[in-house]
Amino acid sequence: MKRGVEQGDICSPKAFTCALKSVVRQVAEKDGFEIHGETLQMLLFADDVVLVASKPATLQSLLNEMCHLTESIGLKIHPGKTKWMKNAYCDDFEIKLNNQLVERVEHYVYLGQAIRMDNDLQLELSRQRKAGWIAFSKIDVLLRNKDIPAQTKSQLSHSNVLPALLYGCETWNLTKAEERSLQVAQRAMERRMLGISRLEHKKNEEIREISQLHEIVNLLHKRKKIVGRARRQNERQSLDGVTFALVPTNKTSRYEDHRCDG
């Protein structure tokens, strides 16, 4: 056989992982952020790689080295899918991949979450509300069926719709207004599920009693508490270090506008 492993073959994912791991091990630690005595230089998930640096020039050096090493084993970085971001303290710079300019973006969707350097969650919340409605529409026929018991509809919603609405919520730091936007989305779904118009002027408490849905903000806080318990158990130092570490910045502290930490 002269042909190697192709995409879709059973051993393809494992072969790719081993190849990429060999590249990562060769990339010299040049920069990154120090967290609990360890340097965070990159994030890896399957073929999604994030390079982290405190200076654009160092980021360019890391990208060049990664590109050279991947090409040496027959892999190639996709230029169209490669983007870079910077915060307000970084000077303007041009990042290139094989002499092609890499697009600089204000936000990027990584592992299902919209990432912004200014920590503005409006885009992420908008995406999750849309994802919630998409999940709702997939089982709309069941949720609006009057012959199906409310308890069954509630279970369907909790297992299909709410996970889409709350995906990644453990990393959110919401204001009261942002929490209300999630509540508004859930109440709109409840009314649609029960066929109740706003013109009927039914109170939210009455609708909640009929729908038997859990309050979305309470579920959000519950998920964050689970992360808190994992932290206290301290089973893995990396979980505690990466999740709760304070990364040094030049930004002066200011009063946060009623942020809710759960």
Q: Give residue 254's pLDDT band: very low, low, confident or very high (50, 70, 90).
A: very low
The partner residues of 48 in beta bridges, in order of sequence, read: 45
Evaluate if pTM is beyond 0.85. no
| 236-249 pLDDT per residue, tens | 555 555 555 555 55
- CB distance 27 to 69 below 8 Å: yes
- Rounded mean pLDDT, 194-205: 85
CA-to-CA separations, 212 to 156, 202, 204, 208, in angstroms, rounded? 11, 15, 12, 6
Is 89 within 8 Å of 250 (Cβ atoms)?
Answer: yes
Of all residues in the chain, what percent carry a pLDDT higher than 70? 81
Task: Please tell me the distance from the alpha carbon of residue 164 to that of residue 162, in angstroms, as a whole number.
Answer: 5
**Average pLDDT taken over every residue of the chain:** 81
- Burial-class residue 163 by CB neighbours within 10 Å (0-12, 13-18, 19+): middle
Q: How confident is the model at residue 33 (pLDDT cuts 50, 70, 90)?
A: confident
Query: In the chain, where are the structural domains located?
Result: 10-119+237-250, 121-232
What pLDDT does 138 receive?
95
Please give the pLDDT value at position 54: 83
How far from chain centre, in Å, is Cα 224? Answer: 15
Q: Please name the amino acid found at residue 246.
A: L
Pairing of strands 174-175, 259-260: antiparallel
Locus of tokens 């009927």: 200
